[in-house]
Chains A and B, each alone.
Chain A
Amino acid sequence: MKRKRYLTSLVAAFLIISLALAGCSSNAGNSSSGGDDVPQELTYASTTKAVGLSPIETNDSVSSRVIEQIYETLFVRDPKTMEIVPKLAKSYETPDSKTWVIKLKEGIKFHDGTDFNAEAVKYTFDKFRDPETAAPRASLLEPIESVEVKDQYTVVIKTKEPYGPMLAALSHTNASIVSPTADKKGSLNKEPVGTGPFKFVEWATGDHITLEANQEYWKDAPKLQKVTFKVVPEVNTAVSMLQTGEVQFIDGLTPQQLPRLEKLKNVEIMKEEGTPVSYLGFNMKKEPTSDLKFRQAVAHAINREAYVKKLKGLGVQSNSIIGPKVFGYDKAAEKLGYNYDPEKSKQLLKENGYEGTTLKILAANTGNYMMMAEIVQAQLKKVGINAQIESMEWGTFLDVSKKGDFDITFLGWTNSTADGSELLYPNLHSDNAGSSNRTQYSSPEFDKLVDESRTIVDQEKRKQKLMEANELAVKDAAWVVMNHGVVTAAYDKSVKGLEMDPTGQWSLYNVHRE
């Protein structure tokens, strides 16, 4: 008797649970199909939180994603043609190689009602360059000598030397124009005011940032009424939220998440070849990695094809340091690198007395860096190099790698201007050795070419110099390029009109839901 009752309750419990589960799954299905009046709202999830919302004072990608919706730059790089076109600017001319005269669009207002004019541009750039501001990307506008207001809508920028990547620098998110009134009143980091299609509403630190449509935008007002940037620290959770419709948009997908996302019926995946690059860097100040022969042996030992396959389409194999989507790329560089050839690697090690070398691989435990480290470790072992991996979290890694306490390390560079100078100068020029040039590569010949690429204003000549510099560094095995990046996003099918730059940036201006 008692037992029977027990059984009945068990069956009942089972029924309830299965009903509940069925309810859940049908909910998930409904959210994707959408109705006639889908709210014009969008929630984006990132795993880390934004640092601040002032373009002048920040330099991390999560902050930039928000900043790009609130502020605008004078120029932008067209994602399709990769040409730089005016945005807040109307036109520009260069009377001589050190002077840039920029005409501005008229009748644009900041969110707080302040007029956008030459004064605002001067204010922004002066603040950006002020040593007291200590802007993290100050180097972008470092070559500028003065910014002058010619008339209300004309600015004249004079540089110390001819500055080739000027337009690329001015199209960088961090060179966005800010409202002088708002900046004088308070901190833009907490209360951002720009000219962009979205206005700041609130920021619950560590949880979310809310923006709303700017109805007075200088073009048509955006269709999305409300945009939320949510922090979801765990990728798997973010994907689950995308599945249930709590979040409509995530980016920076990992190859591990891809198979799961592809199975979700309500999710669309976007993959675009982009400008980021991931590479293996050698410590140039230490034996044996300072020896070209040894670096060649390492490059020959690594099967990058197998590694790129593991990325499941989220990476492009290339020998060139300047990637296919970056200004200065040259197909000829592909033939110059050192391809997978373990026999040649062994031979090089033997000829130069490097058999049985022990190395220290330093790797950050984020992104794909651990995967690179483990695969390279196993492949080096095959040619007789014993490598020990030391893994650490990103912050510690940055300190340790700056000190040069490694033989081999893995790094990446998201080139947000898509200009080769912005890749070669910070990462490989001896000016930056020990800071952003973590491998401390230094070659006078290479430095000269990069300097020229920065000081020549003629874009065709610049490209030539960049190609030569790239060729030199590839031959020198300064890096072993693991892969060039693919920028990715996954979004709910109800989201339409989303476009992504090769730099991984996106604007929600043209996005709507249906």
Chain B
Amino acid sequence: MPASEAVATQSKLGKQTEGKQKVIVVTLKKLLKNRLAVFGLFIIFIQILMAVFAPWITHYSPVTQSLVNSELPVGSENHWLGTDNYGRDMWSRIVFGARISLVVGLVSVILGLTGGIALGLISGYFRKLDGWIMRFVDLLFAFPGILLAMLIIAMLGTSLVNVMIAISIWSIPTCARIVRGSVLSVKKQEYIVAMKSLGAGNSRILIKHILPNCMAPIIVFATMRMATAILSTSALSFLGLGAQPPTPEWGAMIAAGQDYMWTSPHMTIVPGIAIMLVVFAFNVLGDGLRDALDPNMDLG
């Protein structure tokens, strides 16, 4: 390769990274103008702080029982969010529960994305495999989401790890379809055709050129999916299929509080609000991101 050409490529690469940074800055600017999205970000930020610093911001272990102090209402001395039916501090349980739902959400979304992206890329790019993979995806789609998760848990047994696996499998078909759609449109672009004629390998084209151009819908999907994953974990735990006692999982806490609805309503309301806020936050953030990432949307 002649020197001048190499220099040209280098400067082009520089421009590319510069361009990427610019895209991120513009997106962030757009995002920060969306008040709801900022609110969502704020809530998520708080949840992350709670999850990371859980042991330092609570005085009690979330699983230590104190039967004499059970069913204290919100605003009690030493327990500002009250205690549950076994005298466990509600604040500690909510904080450690934040950790669980964040971890479960992240892990299951990442697992689901990995599977979904791989399937979507292959299916969109290689015409021969397209039919097979999409029929398999259709098969997964045939089950209503939560039923599919319950089926998988019924096969694997009840535990939080299995809930993560079930939710990630449930995320695969949607993600695969979204990615495939983007791949189909991107691969017809001139620069991809150019790369092909230059002799670039399939994997290089897929990972370095097609995938980055499919990122926008994937980011939006992943954010929204966090909300679904957290909600589903709680739903499954509520049904007794997820976290096993004494794990302070929010959905399991609501299920346990059900019997005490009339005497200690805070046992259901507090974790209920926690789930609601977090799910709402991820949803509005996802909405905001979609608007911000859409090049057709104007700043004003």
Contact = CB atoms under 8 A, between A and B. Distances in A.
Interface of A: 235-236, 239, 254, 256-257, 259-260, 303, 306-307, 309-310, 365, 370-371, 373-375, 377-379, 388-393
B259 A390 contact: no
Contact of B244 (A235, A375, A388): A388
Given A310-B70, A390-B158, A391-B240, A378 B63 contact: yes
A256 B259 contact: yes
Interface in B242-277: 244-246, 258-263
Contacts of B244: 388-391
25 contacts: A235-B259, A236-B261, A236-B262, A257-B259, A259-B263, A260-B263, A306-B68, A310-B70, A365-B240, A373-B245, A374-B246, A375-B67, A377-B245, A377-B246, A378-B63, A378-B65, A378-B246, A379-B65, A388-B244, A389-B245, A390-B244, A391-B158, A391-B240, A391-B244, A392-B240
A491 B95 CA distance: 42
B86 interface: yes
Contacts of A389: 244-246
A142 to B, nearest CB: 38
A259 B262 contact: yes
Interface residues of B, number: 19
Identify which of B85, B240, B245, B260 gathers the most chain A CB atoms within 10 Å of its CB: B245
A373 B65 CA distance: 13
A374 B86 contact: yes
A484 to B, nearest CB: 20
B202 interface: no
B64 interface: yes
A371 B244 CA distance: 13
A235 B158 CA distance: 26
Contact of A256 (B63, B68, B158, B260): B260
A173 B63 CA distance: 44
Contacts of B260: 256
Contact of A310 (B67, B258, B262, B263): B67
Nearest to B65: A378
A373 B158 CA distance: 17
Contacts of A392: 158, 240
Contacts of A236: 258, 261-262
Given A310-B70, A365-B240, A374 B261 contact: no
A388 B158 CA distance: 12
Given A259-B262, A391-B240, A370 B245 contact: yes
B264 to A, nearest CB: 9
Identify which of A236, A309, A374 gathers the most chain B CB atoms within 10 Å of its CB: A374
Interface in B57-89: 63-65, 67-68, 70, 85-86
A188 B36 CA distance: 65
A373 B67 CA distance: 14
Contacts of B261: 236
Contacts of A374: 65, 86, 245-246
Nearest to A235: B259
Nearest to A371: B85
A230 B245 CA distance: 33
A309 B67 contact: yes
Contacts of B68: 306
A239 B263 CA distance: 13
Instruction: In the A-B complex, list the 3 residue pairs whose CB atoms are closest, starting with the nearest.
Output: A256-B259, A260-B262, A378-B65
Contacts of B86: 374-375, 378
Contacts of A256: 85, 259-260, 263
B21 to A, nearest CB: 49
